[in-house]
């Protein structure tokens, strides 16, 4: 099967993304991870551009083993000299020389005639070959170049020793069918085309970088230049993860493979995002947070019946973890039952119907309903929470010029524990004593007191809403004719709910 060479330019073209500057330490970390990912070539930078770029390419060439290490150079003596120095210590060094060939670039930017450009390209490829065997040449803006002239340049640089010729769609102008034809023409018209690897390098100005690259592969391209997360100049380059997964998922169509360990894709995406500070859009193919999330009830139902109904790739294949069914207002009963089951809660049809109604009401108000919300619904409505801790003794002191303090005795199974604490008032003192015994640490979000009966001996009911140190939110309720005791009961009820929630979550995570 044909092997497509994956040339990663995250550290060169990717770093040209506005705002994506990386320091040398970050570049080395990314380069090492790219090597683990299995890319064939790392374009580590543009050594003449700055001292920092030179050092990064030099350091990567010295420490990263596996892929070829490439540096970029204009068709100029000083660029190639610097580049050669920077990549020298690599086991497999590559020098990548570029020179524009489109009429627009030759006339307005380089101010040179075609014949001069042709000579310059051939001369500097030969010059670079004095330094290393592996020289790549790119006719910049190839897709807007005169095709006969482009073919002459390609032939000349191959004759001068270029081992790879890369055809860039520098400004992302080409359409897939057009770009595919261009590759086919070069392959068939250039007499020595089979003496070099034909590569492509597509930009995403019209959102077609990946499509153009894949069309090129179908028409004979053997190397694809791409970047992690599709970073790159302006709208970016072809995204590495999309190219690799398209070739893998549609092997039936492309009949080729790559050396990429696809299970490492998500990891490199996170790393590049963290180090560049450029966030990955949630709906980004392959590595976006939503790439394997399903919210529509019909889709969730399908996924639960048979994954391939709505998933063409397995999240595990890109190192993403697992499919996520987002419970929201579009979700159905099937998804709710499945999620609750995973949380260790199995409900009868009647109870499920009750829970589903509460869930839908909540989902109307909240974009995503989390596991904690579901457990809260179930605890509130359906399942009685086990009384892990029970108040078996209770005393408090409070008054004018008396420091409020409380002593609480809690029983858990056969174990009885007693603790005292002072506080800002008797309720606070009770809560601190309860925390000492249970180890729970809560932030009180809400406290309310109401009477449930009338008269001086009315029953007071306290409701609390608290959040634990790990962010789990629970509510608690307690009633007594003594409102301090009602407050303590509500707090203990919240602790018991937290214990219950944690036990179910642990079960889920195991």
Least CB distance from residue 154 to ligand KIV, whole Å? Answer: 14
Least CB distance from residue 215 to Zn ion, whole Å? Answer: 18
Rounded Cα distance between 443 and 491, Å, is: 11
Least CB distance from residue 74 to ligand KIV, whole Å? Answer: 9
What are the CB-based long-range contacts (under 8 Å, 24+) for 490-494? 490/462, 490/463, 490/464, 491/430, 491/431, 491/434, 491/442, 491/464, 491/466, 492/389, 492/390, 492/391, 492/410, 492/434, 493/385, 494/442, 494/464, 494/466
Nearer to ligand KIV, 89 or 103 (CB): 103
Which of 26, 68, 76 is closest to 47 using CA atoms?
Answer: 76
Residue 98, binding choice from ligand KIV, Zn ion, none, Cβ under 5 to 8 Å by partner class: ligand KIV
Rounded Cα distance between 366 and 364, Å, is: 6
The piece of 5-13, 208-216, 452-460, 464-472 that touches Zn ion (CB under 5 A) is 5-13
Among 94, 201, 337, 432, binds ligand KIV (CB under 6 A): 201
The answer to whether 462 touches 447, Cβ cutoff 8 Å, is yes
8 binds Zn ion (CB under 5 A): no
Residues between 145 and 174 with contacts to ligand KIV, criterion CB under 6 A: 166, 168, 170
Least CB distance from residue 170 to Zn ion, whole Å? Answer: 6
Residue 180, binding choice from ligand KIV, Zn ion, none, Cβ under 5 to 8 Å by partner class: none
Nearer to ligand KIV, 201 or 489 (CB): 201
The answer to whether 238 touches 230, Cβ cutoff 8 Å, is yes
Least CB distance from residue 232 to Zn ion, whole Å? Answer: 6
DSSP 216-279: HHHTT--EEEEBGGG--STT-B-BHHHHHHHHHHTHHHH-EE----GGGHHHHHHHHHHHH--P
Rounded Cα distance between 40 and 31, Å, is: 12
Nearer to Zn ion, 212 or 468 (CB): 212
Least CB distance from residue 222 to Zn ion, whole Å? Answer: 18
The answer to whether 239 touches 227, Cβ cutoff 8 Å, is yes
Least CB distance from residue 142 to ligand KIV, whole Å? Answer: 8
Here the tokens at position 165 are: 């010729």
Residue 179, binding choice from Zn ion, ligand KIV, none, Cβ under 5 to 8 Å by partner class: none
**411, containing H or E segment:** strand 402-412
Residues 97-128 as b/e (b if ≥16 CB within 10 A, e otherwise) read bbbbbbeebbeeebebeeeebbebbbebbebb
Residue 199, binding choice from ligand KIV, Zn ion, none, Cβ under 5 to 8 Å by partner class: none
105 binds ligand KIV (CB under 6 A): no
Among 5, 6, 8, 13, binds Zn ion (CB under 5 A): 13
Residue 227, binding choice from Zn ion, ligand KIV, none, Cβ under 5 to 8 Å by partner class: none
Nearer to Zn ion, 30 or 486 (CB): 30
DSSP 8-state secondary structure symbol assigned to residue 452: S
Nearer to ligand KIV, 71 or 328 (CB): 71
Residue 463, binding choice from Zn ion, ligand KIV, none, Cβ under 5 to 8 Å by partner class: none
Total number of residues shown for the chain: 510
Residue 110-149 contact track with ligand KIV, rule CB under 6 A, x = bound:
----------------------------x-x---------
Pairing state between β 197-202 and 68-74: unpaired
Residue with tokens 């034909």: 198
Residue 7-36 contact track with ligand KIV, rule CB under 6 A, x = bound:
------x-----------------------
Burial of 349 (0-12, 13-18, 19+ CB in 10 A): exposed
Which of 75, 72, 68 is closest to 83 using CA atoms?
Answer: 72
98 binds ligand KIV (CB under 6 A): yes
Nearer to ligand KIV, 53 or 140 (CB): 140
The answer to whether 156 touches 117, Cβ cutoff 8 Å, is no
Nearer to ligand KIV, 122 or 226 (CB): 226
Nearer to ligand KIV, 225 or 372 (CB): 225
Backbone angles phi, psi at 43, to 5 degrees: -85, 105
- The binding site for Zn ion (CB under 5 A) comprises 13
- The binding site for ligand KIV (CB under 6 A) comprises 13, 98, 138, 140, 166, 168, 170, 201, 203
């Amino acid at each position: 099967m044909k092997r497509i060479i994956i040339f990663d330019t995250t550290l060169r073209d990717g770093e040209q993304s506005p705002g994506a500057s990386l320091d040398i330490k970050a570049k080395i970390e990314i380069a090492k991870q790219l090597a683990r990912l299995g890319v064939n070539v790392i374009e580590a930078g543009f050594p003449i551009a700055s001292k920092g770029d030179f050092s990064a390419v030099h350091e990567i060439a010295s420490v990263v083993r596996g892929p070829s290490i490439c540096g970029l150079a204009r068709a100029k003596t000083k660029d190639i000299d610097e580049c050669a120095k920077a990549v020298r210590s690599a086991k497999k060094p590559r020098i990548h020389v570029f020179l524009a060939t489109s009429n627009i670039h030759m006339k307005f930017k380089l101010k040179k005639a075609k014949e001069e450009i042709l000579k310059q390209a051939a001369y500097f490829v030969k010059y670079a070959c004095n330094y290393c065997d592996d020289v790549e040449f790119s006719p910049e803006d190839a897709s807007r170049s005169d095709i006969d002239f482009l073919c002459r340049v390609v032939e000349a640089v191959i004759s001068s020793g270029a081992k790879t010729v890369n055809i860039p769609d520098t400004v992302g102008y080409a359409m897939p069918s057009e770009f595919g034809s261009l590759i086919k023409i070069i392959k068939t018209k250039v007499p020595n085309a089979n003496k070099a690897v034909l590569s492509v390098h597509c930009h995403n100005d019209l959102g077609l970088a990946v499509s153009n690259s894949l069309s090129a592969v179908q028409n004979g391209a053997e190397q694809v230049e791409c970047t992690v997360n599709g970073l790159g100049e302006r709208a970016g380059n072809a995204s590495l993860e999309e190219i690799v997964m398209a070739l893998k998922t549609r092997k039936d169509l492309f009949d080729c493979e790559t050396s990429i360990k696809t299970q490492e894709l998500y990891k490199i995406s996170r790393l590049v995002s963290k180090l560049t500070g450029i966030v990955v859009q949630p709906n980004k193919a392959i590595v976006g947070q939503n790439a394997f999330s399903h919210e529509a009830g019909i889709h969730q139902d399908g996924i639960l019946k048979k994954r391939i109904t709505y998933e063409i790739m397995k999240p595990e294949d890109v190192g993403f973890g697992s499919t996520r069914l987002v419970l929201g207002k579009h979700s159905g009963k099937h998804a709710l039952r499945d999620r609750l089951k995973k949380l260790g809660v199995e409900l009868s049809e009647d109870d499920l119907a009750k829970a589903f109604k509460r869930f839908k009401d909540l989902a109307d108000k909240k974009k995503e309903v989390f596991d904690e919300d579901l457990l809260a619904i179930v605890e509130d409505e359906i399942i009685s929470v086990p009384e892990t801790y029970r108040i078996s003794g209770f005393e408090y002191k409070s008054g004018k010029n008396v420091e409020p303090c409380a002593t609480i005795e809690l029983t858990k199974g056969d174990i009885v524990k007693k603790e005292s604490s002072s506080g800002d008032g008797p309720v606070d003192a009770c809560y601190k004593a309860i925390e000492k015994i249970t180890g729970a640490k809560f932030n009180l979000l809400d406290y309310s007191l109401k009477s449930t009966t009338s008269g001086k001996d009315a029953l007071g009911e306290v409701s609390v809403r608290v959040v634990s140190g790990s962010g789990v939110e629970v509510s608690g309720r307690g009633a007594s004719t003594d409102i301090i005791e009602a407050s303590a009961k509500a707090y203990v009820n919240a602790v018991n709910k937290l214990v219950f929630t944690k036990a179910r979550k642990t079960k889920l995570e195991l």
